[in-house]
């Protein structure tokens, strides 16, 4: 069981470029969550998805950010026209229904230069 | 606004010491409280607490929830350098899907 796989581990983008972060949940997990961790801060919820559905996106910035979890393939967090303030670690987690303890991936560290 | 507050922000101890980390919360429709350990990579799950007063234990780590005081503590006895990490507390709420509200973490450093 490979766990939650995120890639890339590190991503550097120039201001104005697009960032695409990928997350493959643990085998058997159908619920995916994205969290953002700014330097010296805790994890902040962004979005909760199931296959082909966004269940809760209350933590997503209204502009430039989008997420999907297609029927086939990984979940994608997409950030358009990145700005320096988007620099953070983005963690994906997965779970089965009704289980409170997520399994987290190792994160993608996005640096915007 | 729902919030989870952890204290202290950081802590430096020597190997063999015992530490107590605190987490307090103010959330609507509390369901459970979770502790995670974050080293350089992914947060790893430690405990999930739903009932007040029942201690959960795993080796040198233990945790307990006090619903009356809206708080939890995480104890680590006989600390080792490998315990150095950020310890995160999070709260799950009823009817919030499986979303967690995290505290800011306590950074623990254990010196040899």
Q: Which residue of chain A comes nearest to B90, CA vs CA?
A: A43
Query: Does the pLDDT at position B95 exceed 90?
Result: no
Decide if B41 and A106 are in contact by the 8 Å CB cutoff: yes
Q: pLDDT tens digits, residue range B14-55?
A: 999 999 999 999 998 899 999 999 998 789 999 999 988 889
In the three-class reduction of DSSP (H, G, I as helix; E, B as strand; rest coil), residue A97 is classed as coil
Give start and end residues of each alpha helix (H) in B1-112.
Answer: none
Query: Does the pLDDT at position A79 exceed 70?
Result: yes
Decide if A91 and B43 are in contact by the 8 Å CB cutoff: yes
Decide if B88 and A41 are in contact by the 8 Å CB cutoff: no
Partner residue opposite B105 with nearest CB, options A4, A31, A42: A42
Mutate to test the interface with B, among A102, A105, A106, A108 (most CBs of B within 10 A): A102
Count of CA atoms in the C-beta half-sphere (13 A) of B70: 12
Pairwise CA distance, residues A9 & A27, whole Å: 20
CA A99 → CA A11, A33, B17, B31, distances in Å? Answer: 31, 13, 33, 12
Q: Provide the shortest C-alpha distance from residue A89 to chain B (in Å).
A: 10
Q: What is the mean pLDDT of chain A?
A: 92
| Residue A28 contacts residue A21 (beta carbons within 8 Å) | no
Chain A, window 18-77: residues with a beta carbon less than 8 angstroms from a chain B beta carbon: 31, 33, 35, 41-45, 48, 55-56, 59
pLDDT score at A98? 57
Q: pLDDT tens digits, residue range A1-32?
A: 578 999 999 999 999 999 999 999 998 888 99
**Cα dihedral A72/A86/B42/B70 (nearest 10):** -110
Query: pLDDT band at A100, cuts 50/70/90?
Result: low
Count of CA atoms in the C-beta half-sphere (13 A) of B48: 14
Backbone angles phi, psi at A86, to 5 degrees: -80, -10
């Amino acid at each position: 069981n490979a766990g939650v796989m995120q890639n890339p581990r590190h991503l550097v983008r120039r201001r104005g470029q697009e960032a695409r972060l990928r997350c493959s949940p643990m085998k058997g997990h159908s619920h995916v969550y994205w969290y953002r961790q700014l330097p010296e801060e805790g994890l902040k919820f962004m979005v909760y998805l199931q296959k082909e559905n966004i269940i809760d996106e209350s933590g997503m910035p209204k502009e430039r950010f989008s997420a999907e979890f297609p029927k086939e393939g990984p979940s994608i967090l997409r950030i358009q026209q990145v700005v320096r303030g988007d620099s953070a670690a983005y963690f994906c987690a997965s779970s089965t229904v009704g289980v409170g303890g997520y399994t987290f991936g190792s994160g993608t560290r996005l640096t915007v230069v | 606004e729902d919030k989870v507050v952890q204290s202290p922000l950081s802590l430096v101890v020597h190997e063999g010491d015992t530490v107590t980390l605190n987490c307090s919360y103010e959330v609507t429709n509390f369901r459970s409280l979770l502790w995670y350990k974050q080293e350089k990579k992914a947060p790893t799950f430690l405990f999930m607490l739903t009932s007040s007063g029942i201690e959960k234990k795993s080796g040198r780590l233990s945790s307990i929830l006090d619903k009356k005081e809206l708080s939890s503590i995480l104890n680590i006895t006989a600390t080792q350098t490998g315990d150095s990490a950020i310890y995160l507390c999070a709260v799950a709420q009823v009817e919030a899907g499986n979303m967690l509200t995290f505290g800011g973490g306590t950074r623990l450093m254990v010196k040899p």
